Amino acid sequence: MGIFRGGKMREQGRIDVPRGTTYFILGPTGSGKSALAVAVAELLGNAEIVSADAYQVYRGMPILTAAPSMEERDRVPHHLVECMELTENNDAATHARRAGECIRDIHARGKIAIVTGGSGLYVKFISHGISPAPPSSAALRADLETRPFEEVVEEFRRIDPEGAAATNLQNPRYVIRNLEIVLLGGKPLSHWKSNWTSPIGAGLHLVWETAALDARIAHRAKKMLAEGVVQEIAALQNRVLSDTASRTLGLPQVQAHLRGEISAAELEASLALATRQYAKRQRTWLRRETWLHALSAGEDVTILARKAINLLLG
């Protein structure tokens, strides 16, 4: 196996990566980032993977969350995958603290940490530190949640048009939290978003042509059904899920099918649609993260891993 040093491949020896290095391999859902992270870790030879996915932390939904397979986990150690109960809540700040502990432990053992995932705020808190934005106010949050959502959006647009334009206004959770930051902090959202530290390591994101990614997502929806995602969620019907776990991508669609509201064919189509919509939001966020290198996907994962290492090593 050749090695890379300073962005160049060498024929002998080992990959010379400084102790305490962290890399980020990101991408929209269905882009193949998990497989690429494993391939890069194997080429590096002394790396472990830390998940930045909001939902792969949960036990009991590996098909729905597209968690790394046991074969992948046998090949490369993974952290923060299937480590929480479905009754537990997760959030970006808590996940970032746990990821930080994992990264420090990996570094202490002289290894490289590779962070992979597509949950934007989770990644951002790991890569740049937890936002210094004001903490949540239970009273204000309760007030915003009881008001008509359209009214909340209109207030956000009125007091911080730029912040509202940068927010996914279809997602009540994001809208309420961002408006809460503006109201409590007395400054526009851009002020708080500009206070991030520098990233803790180099990173890249996988880029696909839209049609090609859509095709991969459609195949993924079909594969989930073939692997038994309906049975997987049916087994959880008597479980009380946390607020976070209940927001898992695709869960409402599978639950609707179990209630007899949509057919299997409709479920496949709705899973693909929800995933495409989510991937579109992820791509928008990734393009804004100018510290990330763009890596065109579509090649054999081993070839892609070599290109990824060249980018990461600069």
Query: Could you read off the pLDDT of 228-253 as tens digits, one per residue?
Result: 999 999 999 889 999 899 999 999 99
Q: Which two tokens stand for residue 178?
A: 């961002």
Whole-angstrom Cα distance, residue 37 to residue 42? 9
Long-range pairs of 13-19 with CB within 8 A, sequence gap ≥ 24: 14/45, 15/43, 15/44, 15/45, 15/309, 17/44, 17/112, 17/313, 19/107, 19/110
Per the listing, tokens 């959502």 go with 149
What are the distances in angstroms from CA 11 to CA 2, 3, 8, 15, 310? Answer: 4, 6, 10, 10, 14
What are the distances in angstroms from CA 277 to CA 46, 75, 280? Answer: 36, 32, 5
Mean pLDDT, residues 284-293: 93
9: pLDDT strictly greater than 60: no
Q: What is the pLDDT of residues 82-92, one digit of tens each?
A: 999 999 999 88
Whats the size of the chain, residue-wise? 314
Q: What is the pLDDT of residues 177-196, one digit of tens each?
A: 899 989 988 988 888 766 66
pLDDT level of residue 2 (50, 70, 90 thresholds): very low
The pLDDT value recorded for residue 44 is 94
Q: Which two tokens stand for residue 65?
A: 């969350």
The pLDDT value recorded for residue 62 is 97
The CATH architecture that domain 3-130+196-313 belongs to is: 3-Layer(aba) Sandwich (3.40)
12: pLDDT strictly greater than 60: no
Mean pLDDT, residues 308-313: 93
Taking the model in full, what pTM does it have? Answer: 0.82
The pLDDT value recorded for residue 121 is 87
pLDDT level of residue 26 (50, 70, 90 thresholds): very high
Q: Which two tokens stand for residue 196?
A: 């991030």
208: pLDDT strictly greater than 80: yes
Q: Are 42 and 76 in contact (CB under 8 A)?
A: yes
Q: Which of 311, 225, 314, 309 is nearest to 2 (CA)?
A: 309
CA angle 95, 196, 180 (to 5 degrees): 70
Q: What is the pLDDT of residues 112-171, one digit of tens each?
A: 999 999 888 899 999 998 877 787 788 898 899 999 999 999 999 999 999 899 888 988
Whole-angstrom Cα distance, residue 302 to residue 309? 11
